[in-house]
Structure 1
Amino acid sequence: MITVRTPATSANCSIGFDCLGLALDWKSEISFEPAETLKITGCPAKYAGEDNLVYQSFVYTCKACHVEVPGVHIHIDSDIPFARGLGSSSQCIAAGILGADALLDLHLDDRQKLDLATQIEGHPDNVAPALRGGLCSCISTGNTKDGNQEILPVDLGAHGWHVLVVIPDYEVSTKEARKVLPSSISLHDAAKQVGHALLFEYAWVHGDENLLYEACVDVLHEPSRSKLIKDYPDLYALARKDRIPFWISGSGPTMAFVSQNEDLLRNLQHYLACREVLEEMDSHLKLRLCKVSDQGAEVTYG
């Protein structure tokens, strides 16, 4: 049996639209073992067929490596919520690729795994940290001869950062979240975004929370996407009052408070869990305190 442990991720990280993402120490376990036919367990019956994303990624990897797709039993053990902005699709993709690689002795290197994951996902901001851990920055350096993007990843590490994820009890689909994005921005806003992105990277690596707070001002996606998340205004106001770095995780609706101070986030977690606060916000929120993890997806045998 092969077991792949894959982390939840938080993508975009305020100013890094489609190019920044980080791994959390909240992980799923997906196991693979040979079988006569396809069998998928541990998930709702409607996802237990050939359209399951773990299996689709497993098949994609086999075909990319020109090997026959074998029968396989896939068991999914995960409490990471689906369609909430925590990289659930990237976890499935990473697990499918690593499961095929390990089960069939394909000997893929790290770059090949990332390239395959990006081809399946469409962009690398979630799949890169799912595979590599820490905070990852990625750009496309152009198209290869087969028409796929060539991805250049940079690993920026974890550096002791903690994340309080706030998960509303409703979904925001990535498709709908992309529909509301602006088709263009001004030169002034583009320059502002670049400046904040450069400050963000420096602040992250040097553990400078005050600078990270100042850097977390996005003009590309958060102003539009925040309107789809009814709890955003209250949480954003709280973050600004206490000068805590804050962003929409992926396309939402999950939001993230980020700090070097774990106790600060723990106290914030207790505050947000108070019945009076939740009633005032008229929301049902799941709260989870995580560490940014240097460990990406990992494979164990047996």
Structure 2
Amino acid sequence: MISVHVPATSANCCVGFDCLGMAVDWWAHFTFEESDELIVEGCPEEFKGSNNLVVQAFYTACDYLRLDYPTFKLTIDTDIPFARGLGSSSTCVVAGILACDAWFKKNMDQLEILKIATSIEGHPDNVAPAIFGQATACFMEKENVKMSLVPCADYHCLAIVPRYEVKTSQARKVLPTKMAFKDCVSQVSHALVFIQALQQGDESLLASSCKDLLHEPYRRQFIKEYDRIKTYCEQKQLPMWISGSGSTMMVVSLEKNRLIELSKFLDENLNGLDHRCLTIAKKGAFIKYE
């Protein structure tokens, strides 16, 4: 039996739209066993077949390696919420590719796995940290992914998860088609400082760098709790951003107690929010043989 374990991710990291991502220690688990027919368990009934994203990723890796599709039993064990901006689809994509690699003992390197995963996802900001862990910065050069690993200081994270979805397609429709030159300069400068502060553990500087002009001002309308939480975080100088396209919001701090205080504020003042204390995942997806 092959077990694949993949961390959730927070894409965009505020100022890094479609290029920055961070892995967190909220894990999805997938097991693959030999079977005479394809069996999928642990997901809604409509995805218990070859249309399952994990299976599709496995098959895509087979195509890449020019191998026939095997049959197997897939069991999915995850509580990462779907369509909340925590990379749930990326966990499925990465799991399928890693399982294929392990099934056929091909020993693909991580960059090959990233290439296949990006071809499925369309962009690398979620799949890259899921594969490599910590944080990653990526860009596309034609069909090639260029990636840099961003080692992170020991930040704690609070994932604040509303009990409603924000569809990525909906969130992309509201994005601007043009941006003023001065705003482009601001975006790049804040992103550069964000990466340095994330690595160096400068929480105050990280909070100051969380001023996005590219997507958050337009997507905030879909998250009714955003403004109140953003105001709290700005007053406390806590780094905070919309995770992916939402609806999850991610807050980080070097001091876990500051996030516990925020959790109490949420419980006392805002209804309909789940929240979970996490850390940055220091490693990415991995395989166990059982």
Shared fold per TM-score greater than 0.5: yes
In 1, Cα distance between the equivalents of 2:24 and 2:264?
Answer: 20
3-state SS in 2 of match to 1:117: helix
Alignment of 1:200-211 (within 5 A): 200-211=194-205
The count of residues paired between Structure 1 and Structure 2 equals 290
Alignment of 1:110-259 (within 5 A): 110-140=110-140, 142-143=141-142, 149-259=143-253
Query: What's the counterpart of residue 100 of structure 1?
Result: 100
Query: What's the counterpart of residue 262 of structure 1?
Result: 256
Question: For 1:147-188, what per-residue CA distance to the aligned partner results, in whole angstroms no more than 9, with x for missing partners?
Answer: xx1111111123101110100000000111111110110111
Give the residue type in structure 1 aligned to 2:277.
Answer: L
In 2, Cα distance between the equivalents of 1:201 and 1:84?
Answer: 24
Query: What's the counterpart of residue 18 of structure 2?
Result: 18
* Aligned partners of 2:198 and 2:206 also within 8 Å: yes
- Of the three residues 269, 282, 285, the one matched with 1:297 is 285
Give how far 1:301 is off. 0.2
- Of the three residues 270, 286, 302, the one matched with 2:274 is 286
3-state SS in 1 of match to 2:204: helix
Shift >3 Å, 4+ stretches: none
Using the size of structure 1 for normalisation, the TM-score is 0.94
Question: For 1:9-34, what per-residue CA distance to the aligned partner results, in whole angstroms no more than 9, with x for missing partners?
Answer: 10000000000000001101101112
Give the residue type in structure 1 aligned to 2:34.
Answer: P
In 2, Cα distance between the equivalents of 1:297 and 1:158?
Answer: 17
Using the size of structure 2 for normalisation, the TM-score is 0.98
Identical aligned residues as a percent = 44
In 2, Cα distance between the equivalents of 1:238 and 1:252?
Answer: 18
* Aligned partners of 1:33 and 1:103 also within 8 Å: no
Query: What's the counterpart of residue 146 of structure 1?
Result: none
Give how far 1:220 is off. 0.5
In 2, Cα distance between the equivalents of 1:103 and 1:151?
Answer: 25
3-state SS in 1 of match to 2:50: coil
Give how far 1:202 is off. 1.2
Give how far 1:270 is off. 2.4
3-state SS in 2 of match to 1:73: strand
Give how far 1:127 is off. 0.2
3-state SS in 2 of match to 1:199: helix
Question: For 1:261-288, what per-residue CA distance to the aligned partner results, in whole angstroms no more than 9, with x for missing partners?
Answer: 11111221123123xx12xxxx300110
Range 243-252 or range 98-107, more displaced = 98-107
Question: For 1:180-237, what per-residue CA distance to the aligned partner results, in whole angstroms no more than 9, with x for missing partners?
Answer: 1101101110000011011111111110011001110000100001111111111111
3-state SS in 2 of match to 1:273: helix
Give the residue type in structure 2 aligned to 1:12.
Answer: N
In 2, Cα distance between the equivalents of 1:94 and 1:171?
Answer: 22
Q: What's the C-alpha RMSD, in Å, of the aligned pairs?
A: 0.8
Give how far 1:95 is off. 0.2
Alignment of 1:8-87 (within 5 A): 8-87=8-87
Give how far 1:106 is off. 2.0
In 1, Cα distance between the equivalents of 2:194 and 2:17?
Answer: 13
In 2, Cα distance between the equivalents of 1:157 and 1:73?
Answer: 36
* Aligned partners of 1:41 and 1:76 also within 8 Å: yes
* Aligned partners of 1:8 and 1:87 also within 8 Å: yes
* Aligned partners of 1:158 and 1:293 also within 8 Å: no
3-state SS in 1 of match to 2:15: coil
Range 197-206 or range 115-124, more displaced = 197-206
Give how far 1:37 is off. 1.3
Range 80-89 or range 102-111, more displaced = 102-111
